[in-house]
Amino acid sequence: MKKIIVFALLAMFAFAGTAHAETLKLLTWKGYAPQKVIDAFEKETGIKVEVTFSNNEEMIAKLRATRGAGFDLAQPSQDRISSVQEKFKLYQPLDYSKIDAALFIPSMLDAVKKNTLVGGKSHAVPFCWGTSGLIVNNDKASEATSFKALIDPKYKGRVSYRLKRPTLIAMGFALGYDPFSLYGDVEAYTAMLDKIAETMIEAKPIVKNYWANGDSLLESMRSEEVFVAMAWDAGGWKLHGDNKAIDFRAPSEGALGWIDTFTIPSKAKNVEAAYKWINFIMKPENAGYFSSQEKYATASKGALEFTDKAVADNFARSFPQATIDNIKWYPPVPAKLESIEGKILDKIKAAN
């Protein structure tokens, strides 16, 4: 009888341990969940973090395939939420009473709330921000100050960029359009894309490659295979750390600004853990550590006090106030435009 009781107690304890074991399934970009921060979070909360690395297109595809299931927290860019939510209902409105608003830069928190408003409810909070512009080898291409450098024959065979929608937007600005102002006019936007496609197809001989992997792009810049690339500011700063001739440059048209967010998928199982992670990583010391590692600014108020001086120097060098004032921030993307852009990108890729 005693053996039966002991066995029953052991089974009960084992079940209790299993029942209280928690997991946070995080769908995010590479580098957005530093192991040091994960370890500290797991130690403090007892919640295990499982990370799946992705990008905007893959996040949407994964969540569409499961109708919002499989992950507790995702980190899409703020301009890729409202249109997706309207069409597919992949996310749930956030309970902002569970967000420690004091941790956030108020203007950025308010902006993301506004830009992710669907059905009268907001769906995200900001995490980090940055820009895409030009990475330039100043010893080889000192005159590359505009997105037009990407189609300039003087840099033939020394240019690289992604064949993605940001390049279409950049080329639109380079050709004298304001792509964001055309979001509400499908006909005008399509006409702009047709002109962009014509220009980029004609300039294909100038392009060394369409980069898809950030590490391979950085290596091609280090080896001087590429002189001018369209990429993120952090990539340029990484290269500048090794070679002072290479640096990020905001183009004359204005760098393209993005904000990546936190949003909770509609069928998340561990919603409470998601809120705990948001509040944990947005603490200034944790957000500052992230910025020091990945070279992105965050929406965490006070994080710069915990950021390495070299990183702060990057921002000072690349973003004087006039340059910040000229950033073209991505607004929410109307869903119907993405399919049009996809066809244009396919056309450019297939062209000889």
Of 17, 72, 86, 243, which is closest to residue 63 (Cα–Cα)? 72
What pLDDT, in 10s, does the model give residues 11-49?
444 444 444 569 999 999 999 999 999 999 999 999 999
User: What's residue 332's pLDDT?
Assistant: 87
Q: Are 290 and 281 in contact (CB under 8 A)?
A: yes
**Amino acid making up residue 278:** I
Those residues whose C-beta lies under 8 Å from the C-beta of residue 128, and which sit 6 or more positions away, are 32, 259, 260, 290, 291, 294, 296, 297, 298, 299
pLDDT at 19: 44
What pLDDT score was predicted for residue 270?
Answer: 98
| pTM (two decimals) | 0.78
Instruction: Tell me which residue has tokens 């001989």.
Output: 205
Q: Give which of 78, 71, 73, 23 is closest to 45, Cα–Cα.
A: 23
pLDDT, position 21: 67
Please name the residue ranges forming H helices in 143-251: 165-174, 186-202, 214-222, 233-242
Instruction: Identify the helix (H) or strand (E) that includes residue 149.
Output: none
pLDDT of residue 152: 98
Give the per-residue pLDDT at 304.
85
Average pLDDT value over all residues in the chain: 92
The answer for 26, left when phi > 0, alpha when psi is -120 to 50, beta otherwise, is beta
**Per-residue confidence (pLDDT) for residue 107, from 0 to 100:** 86
Can you give the pLDDT at residue 325? 85
DSSP state of 72: S
Residue 253's pLDDT is what?
97
Segments of the chain scoring below 50 in pLDDT: 2, 5-19
